[in-house]
Structure 1
């Protein structure tokens, strides 16, 4: 964390805000489809290089997940008028928040008589806040202690106001009691990292299933869609690890972890169908939970935790 404090963040913020501004004010005017996707390709490239600005593994991991992966996939869905960014956002502030953070805008909120004043104040603070942070980042070496404290106070007040007025936003829960998962499908689809699961479902699973359903049938199309989704998830996790380890050659252990779980999900669905055909009773929930969570913990330790631990690479120079 200290490395991030020493390394100025204003280039990252400027590139991120500028890229999202380009998407909101220009790309939204482009017709949906391949043409809009082509106009987003430069943004995908910029987001892919942003994590290298962070010298610590923590900074690269967080930025690669939320910006290089999640935000890019949200924009990919937006190319075809799908996903959370397709929601008609009233202003750039809403668009930027939903693009980067696990937030969604609540619907059916009763209007307030002071809504114009609140919106104006929020817009000003939403602009002033990044400027204050950038100003401090650029001139912090020359700041007096009193002026530094003053900037900290203004920034804290701005954040308090912004988050205090975020009644229009709803946090997308990342976890939903994963230790109660009774199957791998339940674990990955409804309980673990629900934000990335939802993004992968909309961007990979649904298009793959819908495309193949008329060719090979619903059942086989569902199987291929599951495997494809888990493979893409594995590749994206390898990408995050690539950033964390400063570009070390991938071992693909993470990718194989998700491929294994995809195959296990297919086998799990097949066994459930066989059990229904044979008239077998359901597995007791306690047994299902132990088997599911146990498999997740053991395989996660082998193919997710150990690869990161073995890399032993924590810092790299700015690229």
Structure 2
């Protein structure tokens, strides 16, 4: 039986977590101010890299101060993954932090620690996908509420159906969280931001899913930090035809290790490596898909209305097998609902404090 805390315990934990959250992000901002400042005096290359490495280790440690699924998990993704990879690129004069030499401090901080990318001025010939509408996100928020509500009847559901529900919750939650994280810098700094997801259920292949539709910001970070250097090195050894194979596998290995780290931040338990096997399997299948596309003529390829559903089913099936059970292992569902209850109790207490009248005003 899972022990649930009373309202007072939840409130104390929530207040402690919020206090730690503020402390963590104050340290993040101070660290990014340091990185911004040293770039003015240290040239790109090894010297700047050595000056930034201590911040990378700090960013790996800071998420250990947070324990909730939402504040802790989101902060770990922003700090330990996105910010660190962007800073490593920045050390060598690459990546989004180096795209504009005259970038302001506020924009530097926003781009460094949030899942956003400032769009460069596109050429008139470049096609750009329209930004998603507010209605799009409103519909997804409504669907998320309905899907979460459906878990009240989980005792009547088949275990595979429950896993489908969790996969939908993960997708809708990530999309909405990243949309909010992108909206605030747009509102405050007036920057153009790209979407983090592009309707992954419409993918036409594994390459389309991982490269252009699912978690686009992570793909854009892994490409210059892992894929391109590995492709360059392997092409000198294996030649251009076979070079994508180790580049793709290397990218998925790094992604696997970072996902294992994210799960450790959430669960604080020793990894069982199913997550790693999930990404290695997808990396191998994606490499084979890319090689087959190069080897086979267009007439021998599956039509999109077949290859698309097959890719989505493969992602879902392997996710049910290797990925989603790890969420249940760390009791992500129970913890998430407890956090929703704690947030509700917190806002209820705040509302009560504002609406209640002093005793001397209520007694005449």
Which residue does 2:276 correspond to in 1?
Answer: 255
Which residue does 1:117 correspond to in 2?
Answer: none
> Is residue 292 from structure 1 mapped to residue 319 from structure 2 by the alignment?
no
> Is residue 5 from structure 1 mapped to residue 18 from structure 2 by the alignment?
no
String of CA shifts for 1:66-124, please: whole Å, max 9, x gaps: 10011000001111111100022432101000001122335569xxxxxxxxxxxxxxx
Which residue does 2:132 correspond to in 1?
Answer: none
Which residue does 2:113 correspond to in 1?
Answer: 100
Which residue does 1:185 correspond to in 2?
Answer: 207
Which residue does 1:122 correspond to in 2?
Answer: none
Q: Match for 1:273 among 274, 279, 294?
A: 294
Superposed CA RMSD in Å reads 2.3
String of CA shifts for 1:231-253, please: whole Å, max 9, x gaps: 1000000000010002x111111
How far, CA to CA, are the matches of 1:265 and 1:165 in structure 2?
Answer: 39
Which residue does 1:209 correspond to in 2?
Answer: 231
Once the two structures are overlaid, the 10-residue window that deviates more, 98-107 or 180-189, is: 98-107
Contact 2:119 2:194 (8 Å CA) reproduced: no
Shift in Å at residue 183 of structure 1? 1.1
Contact 1:37 1:76 (8 Å CA) reproduced: yes
Contact 1:4 1:59 (8 Å CA) reproduced: no
Gaps of 5+ in 2: 1-9, 123-182, 337-364
Contact 1:50 1:63 (8 Å CA) reproduced: no
Shift in Å at residue 302 of structure 1? 1.8
Under a length normalisation based on structure 1, what TM-score does the superposition of the two structures give?
0.76
> Aligned pairs, how many?
261
Shift in Å at residue 288 of structure 1? 0.6
Shift in Å at residue 27 of structure 1? 3.7
Structure 1 residues 231 and 164: alpha-carbon distance in aligned structure 2, compared to 1, 3 A threshold = closer
Contact 2:110 2:185 (8 Å CA) reproduced: no
How far, CA to CA, are the matches of 2:186 and 2:15 in structure 1?
Answer: 23
Structure 1 residues 161 and 105: alpha-carbon distance in aligned structure 2, compared to 1, 3 A threshold = closer
Contact 1:176 1:190 (8 Å CA) reproduced: yes
How far, CA to CA, are the matches of 1:213 and 1:271 in structure 2?
Answer: 18
> Is residue 166 from structure 1 mapped to residue 166 from structure 2 by the alignment?
no
What secondary structure does 1:29 align onto?
A: coil
Structure 1 residues 92 and 4: alpha-carbon distance in aligned structure 2, compared to 1, 3 A threshold = farther
Contact 2:203 2:308 (8 Å CA) reproduced: yes
How far, CA to CA, are the matches of 1:274 and 1:26 in structure 2?
Answer: 48
Structure 1 residues 305 and 93: alpha-carbon distance in aligned structure 2, compared to 1, 3 A threshold = same
Gaps of 5+ in 1: 110-159
String of CA shifts for 1:183-239, please: whole Å, max 9, x gaps: 111110111000001100010000111122122201222110000000100000000
Contact 1:27 1:39 (8 Å CA) reproduced: no
